[in-house]
Amino acid sequence: MPSLYVLKGQDYGTYFDIDEGTVALGRDASNQIRLHDTEVSRRHAEMQFDGESCTIADLESSNGTYVNAQRIEEATVLRTGDKLQLGGTVMLFTSATDKTPDDLSDKVDIITSRELTGDSSRIVRSMSQHEGSNLLNLDFESDAASPWLARARSNLQIMYRTALAVSHTLDIDQLLDRIMQLIFEWVEADRGCIMLLDEQSEDLVPKVRRNRRGFDSPERLAISKTILDYVMQHNEGVLTSDAKEDKRWDHAASIVQMGIREAICVPMQGRYDVVGVIYIDTSITPQQIIQQKGQQNKFTDEHLKLMIAIAHQAALAVEDTRYYSAMMQAERLAAVGQTIAMLSHHIKNILQGISGGGYLIENGLQKHDEDTVRKGWTMVEKNQGKISTLVMDMLTFSKEREPDPVPSDLNQVVGEVVELVEAKAAEQGVAVEYHPAENIPTLTFDPEGIHRAVLNIASNAVDACEDRSDGRPPGKVIISTQYDAGSGIANVIVEDNGTGISEEDLAKIFTIFVSTKRGKGTGLGLPVSQKILKEHGGDIHVTSRIGEGSRFTLELPAVPSGTLADAGPMAETGERQRP
């Protein structure tokens, strides 16, 4: 489903899903998407989602509706990554699904050499990516005869390296530091700074500051507000050289007072907005300017053009990084919302069970009916067990933990699980058989973790055999253990003759909150069991057929007692010894 994530404004961080049909946006509480922004009209805009595409239209609002910084006059189709602005609120749009590309399988053929007819093509030369990049480092004889060609090739090399720099990181600080480093390699600047526009305060915030090697200045870098204001307001890069002679600058402005002889300041223009500025200068005092009056300018129009191009590349990278961060935040919020919704549903059902049991207890006490009291207490105990299991599964799945391996008897641990599920199975008319292997030695593993993993699988097996309305034989669950000393593997196998799992569901049964129990399961048991096995360096393998049942094999590295090395993620270094 499409969504909006608020990047800027009073509702910053809020995530809105776009339901199919008409969705109103505005300040009034009657809107499906309510924005707490005084610059937003009561009914500001309207979105239409038909299941495939999403459009937005302005409802004659006071301040207008903008898509990618352009005011819209009619319904506009939205695409993933579009920025919507209503008043002072900026939101990121994400579509439901990206458009599936056309199937070109009938237009492109990949043929073997045997199928070639009349084509004697052969490979005459191959070249690696590294060799191809060396084109920018070759010394062409024509460079001496053509300074223009030399400069063009140099600029191409600069842009190539800039593109590489911005593509190798999603960390904005690392990105900007690398950009500034490259600028100082190419331009003879004394000082430089990159500032980004804060999306909330709309102030320029310094992110990177650098001095030329060997140029040590204890003074703070003072940047002319005159220059910054012009660059931001006009979205133009500027080259200043003795600025008092330029009509655009007031002779009393800050630039003259600072004594800067040359400076370049360029906007970081992205796809939609200016995200910041890049500033470099030669820090020369007024006395030095007088002494070096005839010196040729260091910065030229070519440097200005190059800096504008670099700033554009950097701005695109900053936008991509922010977009990626916003997408990750949106996914986290969606996951949190899903978690809360699922937990609320299951906790509500459990509380209803406890409330029902409490009612029976109260009714039985009033009538002195011991059987009713006992029945009510059984309901309370059963639901207490459910909420305990739910909490333990949530803690197990959410916490990063190392197994606590101790010498343990695998058959005994599995036997304890069998005793627990037998009572539940008897209530549902399901038989449970246990076949422990006789050759399993004492192994080193986390007994509490393995107990929980096997219990989840075994409980699911019993539940799968509950419905026998189709006349099939009574439900049966067979639990067994195996040990292979040669491969160093111990297995716990849980088989049932229940309903089985379809191939489609089989691919996602270990996904959190995905359950095949038709609303009875939490969707936590299998993911928790798999997590525990993987923490031990093992895994869970499943085979199943609809109408015939399922077989779960819990594969565990068999680490003999007293040997804690080579146990995969569970490996210890010997500091912890247990009797």
Separation between Cα atoms, residue 17 and residue 25, nearest integer Å: 12
For 143, other C-beta atoms within 10 Å of its C-beta total 16
DSSP structure string for 379-397: HHHHHHHHHHHHHHHHHHH
Residues 6+ apart with CB under 8 A from 61: 40, 41, 43, 44, 45, 86
532 contacts 453 by C-beta, under 8 angstroms: yes
543 contacts 509 by C-beta, under 8 angstroms: no
**Is 25 found in the same domain as 157?**
no
**Is 163 found in the same domain as 71?**
no
**Is 424 found in the same domain as 393?**
no
Question: What number of CA atoms fall less than 13 Å from residue 95's CA on the CB side?
Answer: 17
**Is 479 found in the same domain as 366?**
no
Residues 6+ apart with CB under 8 A from 127: none
Q: Which of 323, 346, 369 is the last residue of a domain?
A: 323
298 contacts 289 by C-beta, under 8 angstroms: no
Q: Specify if 421 maps to a domain.
A: yes
Q: Specify if 539 maps to a domain.
A: yes
**Is 494 found in the same domain as 353?**
no
Say how far residue 130 (Cα) sits from the centre of its chain.
Answer: 32
Which domain CATH number covers 74?
A: 2.60.200.20
Burial label for 253, CB within 10 Å (0-12, 13-18, 19+), is middle
Instruction: Return averaged pLDDT per consecutive 10 residues of the chain, 579 residues in all.
Output: 84 84 92 92 94 91 91 92 89 68 59 56 58 51 52 63 65 82 81 86 86 68 82 87 51 46 85 87 58 59 84 85 75 68 70 84 89 88 78 68 86 92 86 93 91 90 78 87 92 93 85 64 79 90 92 92 52 37
Of 220, 240, 244, 221, nearest in space to 230 by CA: 240
Q: Specify if 217 maps to a domain.
A: yes
561 contacts 442 by C-beta, under 8 angstroms: yes
**Is 366 found in the same domain as 449?**
no
Which domain CATH number covers 319?
A: 3.30.450.40
Residue 15's SS3 state is strand
Please report the pLDDT score of residue 539 as a whole number. Answer: 93
Q: Which of 323, 351, 377 is the last residue of a domain?
A: 323
pTM value is 0.46
Q: How many domains, the chain?
A: 4
Range of the domain at 528: 406-557
Residue 26's SS3 state is strand
Of 414, 443, 413, 409, nearest in space to 559 by CA: 443
Residues 6+ apart with CB under 8 A from 65: 44, 45, 56, 57, 58, 71, 72, 84, 85, 86
Q: Specify if 59 maps to a domain.
A: yes
Token output for 267:
């906007």
Please report the pLDDT score of residue 309 as a whole number. Answer: 85
Angle at 554 between CA 393 and CA 494, to 5 degrees: 90
**Is 298 found in the same domain as 200?**
yes
Contacts 24+ apart (CB under 8 A), 296-299: 297/241, 297/262, 298/188, 298/189, 298/262, 299/187, 299/239, 299/241, 299/262, 299/263, 299/264
Separation between Cα atoms, residue 25 and residue 39, nearest integer Å: 13
Which domain CATH number covers 491?
A: 3.30.565.10
**Is 529 found in the same domain as 514?**
yes
**Is 305 found in the same domain as 161?**
yes
Token output for 575:
């500091």
Q: Look-up: residue for tokens 């067979």?
A: 478
**Is 164 found in the same domain as 79?**
no
Question: What number of CA atoms fall less than 13 Å from residue 74's CA on the CB side?
Answer: 0
66 contacts 270 by C-beta, under 8 angstroms: no
Token output for 29:
């509480």
Q: Specify if 85 maps to a domain.
A: yes
Longest Cα–Cα distance in the chain: 111
Q: Which of 94, 129, 158 is the last residue of a domain?
A: 94
Separation between Cα atoms, residue 410 and residue 416, nearest integer Å: 10
Please report the pLDDT score of residue 257 as a whole number. Answer: 46
State the Cα torsion 136-139-144-150 to the nearest 10°. 10
The gap between the terminal CA atoms of the chain, to the nearest Å, is 55
User: Beta strand pairing status for 191-197 and 274-282?
Assistant: antiparallel
Q: Specify if 576 maps to a domain.
A: no
Q: Specify if 572 maps to a domain.
A: no
Q: Specify if 519 maps to a domain.
A: yes
**Is 389 found in the same domain as 467?**
no
Please report the pLDDT score of residue 388 as a whole number. Answer: 78
User: Beta strand pairing status for 45-49 and 21-26?
Assistant: antiparallel
Which domain CATH number covers 351?
A: 1.10.287
**Is 182 found in the same domain as 128?**
yes
